[in-house]
Structure 1
Amino acid sequence: MNGSPAVAAATRRARQGASGGGDAAAPGSFRLVVHSADEAVRTIRREIGADARVLSVRSLPGSGWGRFFGRPQLEVIGEVKRPEIDGMPASGAALLAGETPGMAIAEPAPELPPAEAAARAKEDESDRRGIFPELLRRAERALPARTAFFGLAGSGCTSALCKWIAREVLDRRKGGTVWRVTLDRPVRPSVLDVFCEALRVPLLSWRPGMPEPGDGFLQVDLPPLSIGPENEVNRKLAAWLDRERIAGRVLVLNAACAADSLRAACAAGRAAGATHLVLTHLDEVPHRGRLWECLIESELAPLFLATGPGLSGDMEENVVGALLRRPGSSAGF
């Protein structure tokens, strides 16, 4: 949508202040139709400014063949703060105009029956409280070059690491090194050995005093976390991560687990300094709505969803957008 006439025209109107000039966005409402949550954030920041506030976000169902083959669309409704002159609120609000996708006039909503109005209010409650924008801000946290993947046994941690290495090497044309850390546990051959050999990525067993890796990324495969209040294994992992200056710490969770198990795993991951979150086994989760609680309460940056068993592919980096869609379709809930 960059460079479209509708966006350009709306931008000029949004950049005019109450006095007819200046850089402040005009007070009023706006509506965006975009293809992803990331695109919405970029467009709002670029075209409207920091005063914009998101009121609601919903998926738009496609029409015709677009329901099956078209790109998903999100409708974002928001407002720009109204300026006050001499202590009095402005008498009117200028509306942003345009055509979709892009900016469009936010027409006054018709009066709804009480039951429907209550349902709408409940549906948009999370957006009014700023939860959706907060998730998008978290998703923008870049993953450091030195990163470790860890999680409970059975979380699919090694498979998630393989997916990320494949994305870095095959799609982003990056190079680097992988460390396997055992911390006195026996070394067991895994799919990581064959995978790194196939991609020609060095896989080294970490030992004290070993040379630092060269240029490029450093990805670390750690032994499983354990659950418990006084856990020596987790303390050793956290101490090792601090000592080796591993700033990126990706907690991998099996999304098919019960809510209590996810909470316990999140607590163990945060105690080890987790910074990012990966949810695996999404192909085994028919109702993804329950994952919002885990995503919000974890306070971690969502990195990607593992949507299948493949070691390259079967992943979705637009976590928020993927959870807004029904599994296997482009339509919203």
Structure 2
Amino acid sequence: MQKDSVIYVSGHKGLVGSSIVRALDRQGFTNVIYRTSSELDLRDAAQVEEFFRQHAIEYVFCAAAKVGGIVANDTYPADFIRDNLIIQTNLIDASYRHQVSKLLFLGSTCIYPRLAPQPLKEEYLLTGELEETNKPYAVAKIAGITMCQSYNRQYGTRFISAMPTNLYGPNDNFHPQNSHVLPSLLRKFHEARVEGKPFVDVWGSGTPLREFLHCDDLAEACLYLMEHYEGNDIVNIGVGQDISIRELAELIGDIVGYEGEIRFDASKPDGTPRKLVDVTRINQLGWQSRISLREGIQWTYEWFLQSQQQLQYR
């Protein structure tokens, strides 16, 4: 990518998209374009077509998606598969038809089989049953990967796919019911401390193991792949280390300053027992994460405290 290349970042207000925009700005790219969902509905093929027709887009970061935690996935399964299939199909096809130089499609490590060996290697894709709690979302993402690979084979496009592990950071969704585990716990522990609650209930047994990557690390990895990776194989993006939900809750409680009891509700679903990605491929390409979990959560909590007024309705 040249510093003046026309670069489109979809989903620029979200956790992933906003971090990519910040990374592009830090690295001196001057022609980054984006649109809000009210300005450009990516579910509307005609709008997407007109947008690509008007702009000579050279590079595309597909960061727009409908995302959420276990509760949201379980409550709105049709929305998750429909919206994600439509968004990614419109973006990938328009990128091909308007001769975009290169596209990066962002998936998720939930694409891997529920009981796949750990750590998760890229070749484990489609080798077993998916986790039922987020199957619609995972199926949509697998379709996006396959679409990129198919366009590369048939049309000679340069569409690459990256699979980030669990993400967190500024602009995350902190809704107590519809968010992922880390931001949900961060808000829950903060409110418990402010309100003086004697205990905090955490979903599940606390035993599942999860890996967490700060969104700024992810953004740097995405830019690195866009400039250094050519291939049809997917690439994991992660830290290469995991932590139990119990340990995560304790860490967040410590950072927030909550001194009450932490209780685990084993009647609630745990989801996948463990989800750690093998980062050998991206490490061999020359990239590795730099932000520690404690440091990243501290930064995220500081951002959360500064942004509470805007977040209270999310």
TMscore range, shorter length: under 0.3
Bigger radius of gyration, 1 or 2? 1
The structure carrying a bigger strand percent of its residues is 1
TM-score, length-scaled by structure 2 = 0.27
